[in-house]
Structure 1
Amino acid sequence: MDLNLQPRGDRGRLKEVEALLAGSSIVACMGDRLTLASFGMAVPIWSHLRAAVTTAEEALERVREHNPDLLIATEDLEQGYGIALVQAVERLHPPTRTLIFLRRENPLVVNEALEAGADGVMFVSSIGQARGDFLKALECTRDGGVYYPEVVREMARESSPQDAATQKLLQDLSERELDVLKALTTGLSNREIAEHLVVSSETVKSHVSAIIGKLGVRDRTQAAIMAIRHGGQLIPSS
């Protein structure tokens, strides 16, 4: 595969990443040392990187130390398991946004990553293709959104077990709340949802709060995951 790493004359993506990461701090945890080193030396990344480690234990220590804005991990680690690390970080420091790259492209692993609460789930195979999942994930998660590309949503939806109780909770949402919830699953921020639905951002915030309360979940990420996995026809794939 011919990776599209740096198109000639195209500096726009570097500037986009720099803008998206402005003021942010990052902890990276990857099992492959070459990948980790290459990631850490990337121009838009290195100045924001607080730690680059290869084991789950080291990553948790650095999260405790730095309270980073962003954890970027791979599924495979030298010691530990990337998905379990995401779940631990979600519990240890909920404000940290968690992005994970999966090598195994199958529904069981996708659902495991969603259940762990990852804010962004991507496949390693997407790296270097066109504009890429990573930039899109940064865009979506910067303002509190989630990033689950369509292939991830489809795998999760098709392989999730039927849960009548959860489906009942979703059915009890109003039509407008379902519209907002569907927008959440595609990674839109409150501002973008407001523009899409032609309402105010404050109205969207009220709907999001109502959705979280009615579904009994912790935050908008958990609401989006519930909708993706159990929404069925209520929350069709975009």
Structure 2
Amino acid sequence: MTDIRVLIADDQVMIRQGFAVLLGAEPGIQVVGQAVDGLDAVAKTAELAPDVVLMDIRMPELGGIEATRRITGAADSPVRVLILTTFDLDEYVYEALRAGASGFLLKDASADELAHAVRVVAAGEALLAPSVTRRLITEFSRTSPTPRAPLKSRLGDLTERETEVLSLIAQGLSNAEIAGTLLVAEQTVKTHVSRILPKLGLRDRTQAAVFAYESGLIRPTGY
């Protein structure tokens, strides 16, 4: 099995080197480079072709949000971005998720948490716990209360069951939990997810959660 290639982007050398040491000791993970700011991250991503970029938000030259947008902007870009932040309610985290990040991780994460996060994101899954998803939806309610019509129209491309699955994804449910809710096999849910993402032009479950709110499918009531 091929190692997961990781690029670490942070303007603090101790954080970069600390994460490099932690990940370098993990089986199946290879740190292929370090970037000192957003511009460097974009350049090194193009040069080194990592699977996952650990991206700080606040960096000189080019911030992590714009760097994330540039890295994930291409429809066929296979690179996943995992945002590094000091606080789990950092307002910039939400903008980073909108920009295409696949999730976020606190900078004081343990070695096990860091490695798990990299593996989850590399596999195309979202690194958003249900509690985080609820906060994410609440934040979208505060900052973007009006559903975006072009996104709402794209919901028409989904079947009724796919729309139902998308709604549950946005509420933070795992495939197994969705299967239990809908009384279907977990493989059936995986098949629905694999159809939903390309139909909507989405990269992963994180973007699905963002889309579900911004299209008006999900409302913050009750979260």
State the alpha-carbon separation in 1 of the partners of residues 6 and 55 from structure 2.
Answer: 11
Distance apart, 1:89 and its partner CA: 1.0
Please state if 1:76 is matched with 2:61. no
Distance apart, 1:99 and its partner CA: 0.5
Cα pair 1:136 1:147 within 8 Å, conserved: no
Query: CA 1:235/1:82 → structure 2, altered by over 3 Å: closer, same or farther?
Result: same
Q: 1:38 aligns with which of 18, 26, 39?
A: 18
Q: Which residue of 2 aligns with 1:51?
A: 33
Equivalent AA in structure 1 for residue 166 of structure 2? L
Using the size of structure 1 for normalisation, the TM-score is 0.69
Distance apart, 1:136 and its partner CA: 5.9
Query: CA 1:156/1:103 → structure 2, altered by over 3 Å: closer, same or farther?
Result: farther
State the alpha-carbon separation in 2 of the partners of residues 143 and 47 from structure 1.
Answer: 13
Q: How many aligned positions are there? A: 211
Cα pair 1:110 1:155 within 8 Å, conserved: no
Cα pair 1:101 1:122 within 8 Å, conserved: yes
Equivalent AA in structure 2 for residue 57 of structure 1? L
Could you give the per-residue CA deviations for residues 162-195 of structure 1, whole angstroms, max 9, x where no partner exists?
A: 125244654885553234213433273x577556
Alignment of 1:119-198 (within 5 A): 119-124=102-107, 127-128=108-109, 134=114, 137-138=117-118, 140-148=120-128, 149-150=132-133, 151-163=135-147, 165=149, 166-167=151-152, 169-170=154-155, 175-185=160-170, 186=172, 188=174, 193-194=178-179, 197-198=182-183
Equivalent AA in structure 2 for residue 34 of structure 1? M
Cα pair 1:100 1:120 within 8 Å, conserved: yes
Secondary structure of 1:44's aligned partner: coil
Cα pair 2:9 2:34 within 8 Å, conserved: yes
Could you give the per-residue CA deviations for residues 85-138 of structure 1, whole angstroms, max 9, x where no partner exists?
A: 11111135621111012347454x2332122111113455xx348x85x46634
Q: Which residue of 1 aligns with 2:101?
A: 118
Cα pair 2:3 2:28 within 8 Å, conserved: no
Please state if 1:223 is matched with 2:213. no
Q: 2:44 aligns with which of 59, 62, 75?
A: 62
Secondary structure of 1:26's aligned partner: strand
Q: Which residue of 2 aligns with 1:91?
A: 73
Query: CA 1:170/1:121 → structure 2, altered by over 3 Å: closer, same or farther?
Result: farther
Equivalent AA in structure 2 for residue 178 of structure 1? T
Secondary structure of 1:27's aligned partner: strand
Q: Which residue of 1 aligns with 2:192?
A: 207
Query: CA 1:100/1:233 → structure 2, altered by over 3 Å: closer, same or farther?
Result: closer
Distance apart, 1:153 and its partner CA: 3.9
Could you give the per-residue CA deviations for residues 147-171 of structure 1, whole angstroms, max 9, x where no partner exists?
A: 2323334323432231252446548
Cα pair 1:101 1:123 within 8 Å, conserved: yes
Using the size of structure 2 for normalisation, the TM-score is 0.72
Distance apart, 1:74 and its partner CA: 0.6
State the alpha-carbon separation in 2 of the partners of residues 30 and 171 from structure 1.
Answer: 41
Please state if 1:102 is matched with 2:85. yes
Identity between Structure 1 and Structure 2 (%): 24
